[in-house]
Structure 1
Amino acid sequence: MMDKTTLKKIMPFATDENIDKFLPHLNDTMATFEIDTPMRQAHFLAQIAHESGSLRYVREISSGKAYEGRKDLGNLMPGDGPKFKGRGLIQLTGRINYSAFNDFTKKEYNLLEHPERVEQPDLAALVAGWFWNRNKLNELADQDQLLKITKKINGGFNGLEDRTEHLERAKSVLLRGK
């Protein structure tokens, strides 16, 4: 179980309020998806730190209009781009991905009608773990493959320097106990 002090060392720019809000859900998510070794946790938390701006954002800042009509994301209906823009601690994007996560939750949250629910702390953390698991990122974390993990999450290498800094800090805390 991750404690508040450890998470604060990994994400020094996260507010105490946000750490308190997300920490129990991150712990549940890491247990659920076997993100259970220091290396796996270091990679997972480093990516979350970048993607969420150290737990500040659970919704993409842009409008989502750039995703309008993107068939690869399943955005076929008018308004799907903004409706299914990135949400969660690792940004869930596109109707097809919301639908898959909705199925995973057994449609309990009706996410296709209420995608904003992914912004709730429990679902924001859960979707990050679900994405991590779905893309077999534990295996890449075990091999310390930052570039491959980043590519799976981002589709490219956006923010690589920041992701690297977070990873080095997380490894220092989790693997070396500093």
Structure 2
Amino acid sequence: MITAQVLRFLVDSESEKLKEADLVAQHLQAAATKFEINTQRRAAHFLAQLAHESGFRPVEENLSYSADGLCKVWPKRFTPQFAIECARKPERIAEVVYQGRLGNTEPGDGFKYRGRGFIQITGRDNYTKYSALIGHDILNNPELALRHEVSALIAAAFWSENRCNQLADEGDLSMVKAITLKVNGGLNGIVERGQYFVKAQEALA
């Protein structure tokens, strides 16, 4: 169901081509099978969200924000002066933003367990949880989350854990909002996610 042709149809452009599309499709299909993303509608919703989140490329949160960026993204954590002190210092930013949250208790956890994957997971608690769910020790080897196979498994496991299959079963375009809330925690990129869903349905048909 999930093929290189489908992925390229969704994200290829004149300026940027999806590298290793065959490999990515192989791993996404294996992960989808494992976590029962096994109907056209489920797969269309799944691929639409991944297309927006990462373009089917395992990504890593770099946290190299400018002072203005810090104030916009985390206005409650950074005053203008504090943002200037932290700007372009990813490890310092991670400490401010993530330390003491999401299970991050050890020095450096915030940066060590920053967001990674097709759908990014963040924090020691999530790395612990998904290590058990997918059978890869990303807790002690966080960089594994950037491998295509592991990133695909994390995305599909996240999908399953957040009951996105059940949401997908309830409708087509009408369910993009509810699924986006599960994946994103908000409605960032909701229009584009809907557009990707329509394209995914077309490609999978």
> Could you tell me the TM-score, scaled by structure 2's length?
0.76
Match of 1:137 among 157, 164, 177: 164
Match of 2:38 among 16, 19, 36: 36
2:117 is the alignment partner of 1:116: no
Contact 1:58–1:89 under 8 Å retained in 2? yes
Q: Secondary structure at the match of 2:188?
A: coil
Structure 1, 81-90 or 127-136: larger mean CA deviation:
81-90
Deviation (angstroms), 1:86: 1.0
Distance, in Å, in 1 between the alignment partners of 2:145 and 2:202 is 31
Distance, in Å, in 1 between the alignment partners of 2:53 and 2:118 is 6
State the partner residue of 2:5: 5
Q: Secondary structure at the match of 2:27?
A: helix
Q: Deviations over 1:117-159 (max 9, x none)?
A: 1101100100000000111100111113111111111111112
State the partner residue of 1:58: 59
Q: Deviations over 1:9-43 (max 9, x none)?
A: 22334734231231110010111111111110010
Distance, in Å, in 2 between the alignment partners of 1:5 and 1:103 is 32
Match of 1:153 among 173, 183, 202: 183
Q: Deviations over 1:49-85 (max 9, x none)?
A: 1111x123421232461542242x1122221111111
How many pairs align? Answer: 171
Q: CA RMSD in A?
A: 1.8
State the partner residue of 1:100: 129
Q: Bigger radius of gyration, 1 or 2?
A: 2
Unpaired stretches in structure 2, ≥5 consecutive residues: 64-89
Tell me which amino acid in the other structure corresponds to 1:152.
K
Q: Using the aligned pairs only, state the percent identity.
A: 38
Tell me which amino acid in the other structure corresponds to 1:69.
Q
Contact 1:4–1:20 under 8 Å retained in 2? yes
Distance, in Å, in 2 between the alignment partners of 1:141 and 1:101 is 22
State the partner residue of 1:127: 154
Distance, in Å, in 1 between the alignment partners of 2:165 and 2:134 is 21
2:49 is the alignment partner of 1:47: yes
Contact 1:67–1:82 under 8 Å retained in 2? no
Contact 1:68–1:78 under 8 Å retained in 2? no
Match of 1:21 among 20, 23, 26: 23
Contact 2:134–2:157 under 8 Å retained in 1? no
Contact 2:58–2:148 under 8 Å retained in 1? no
Distance 1:3 1:156, change over 3 A: same
Tell me which amino acid in the other structure corresponds to 1:59.
E
Tell me which amino acid in the other structure corresponds to 2:178.
K
Contact 2:2–2:25 under 8 Å retained in 1? yes
Distance, in Å, in 2 between the alignment partners of 1:110 and 1:56 is 20
Deviation (angstroms), 1:88: 1.1
State the partner residue of 2:107: 78
